[in-house]
A = this chain, B = another copy of it.
C-alpha cells in the first residue's frame, strides 16, 4: 500500500511538473523557458525535474504527444461499423464539434504544437510528420467511406482531400485563436461541416 501511495505520489509530482511546463512553455516558448522556470512554477527544486524526466526535451515531447493523442482520438472515433449517410454526417458533426472544443480547451497545447513542435529537433520533427501521416491516412479512410456512401465525389484522391480537410480545420481554428478580428461565428461548427461536406461552391 505504501507502494501504492508512493506510486500515486509519484504520478502527482509528474503531473504537477507537466502542468507547470505546459504553462511555462505556452507563455515564454520552449527555448526561452528554462528548467528553472518550470521547477519554480511547480514549486519544487531544480534537481527534482530530472527525477521525472530525462531531459528538458522529454517533457515537451510528452506534451506534444498528449495533444496528438487527443486529436487522434477524435479522428479515430469516426471509424467503426460501416454507417449509412445520415450516420456519417452525424459523426462528422460530432468530430467537428469535438475538435473545436479541443482547440478551445487546450489552448496551451495548441500554442506549443503550432509554435514550436516543428523547429525543435529532428526526432520530434519526424514525430510530428508521423502524426500528420497517420491522421491523414485515418481521415483518408473516412473520405473513402464517404465516397463509397456517395457523399463525396470519386474523382479526387482521398489522401489529398484528407490533407485538405485537416488544413482547413486547423487554419480556421488557429485563425479563430489568434486573429482578433475573426468573426465570432456561433455556428462555426456548422460552417466547418458544410465546407467539408459540400465545399464553398454552389
What is the interface of chain A, defined by CB distance below 8 A to chain B? 29-31, 114-116, 118-121, 125, 129, 132-133, 136, 143, 146, 150-157, 159-161, 163-172, 174-175, 178-179, 181-183, 185, 188, 191-192, 194-202
Contacts and interface: CB of A to CB of B under 8 A. Distances in A.
Instruction: Tell me if A's interface is mostly helix, strand, loop or mixed.
Output: helix
B152 A202 contact: yes
A160 B136 contact: no
Contact of A199 (B183, B188, B195): B195
A174 B199 CA distance: 21
15 contacts: A31-B119, A114-B118, A115-B119, A143-B200, A146-B200, A153-B202, A155-B194, A156-B191, A156-B195, A157-B185, A167-B169, A167-B170, A167-B174, A168-B168, A199-B201
B200 A156 contact: yes
Closest 7 CB pairs of A and B: A199-B199, A167-B171, A116-B119, A167-B167, A115-B118, A198-B201, A163-B175
A139 B177 CA distance: 19
Contact of A201 (B136, B153, B183, B191): B153
Contact of A172 (B129, B164, B192): B164
A188 B157 CA distance: 9
Contacts of A125: 115
A171 B181 contact: no
Nearest to A153: B202
B185 A136 contact: no
A30, A118, A132, A146 pick with most chain B CB within 10 angstroms: A118
Given A168-B164, A199-B201, A200-B161, A179 B31 contact: no
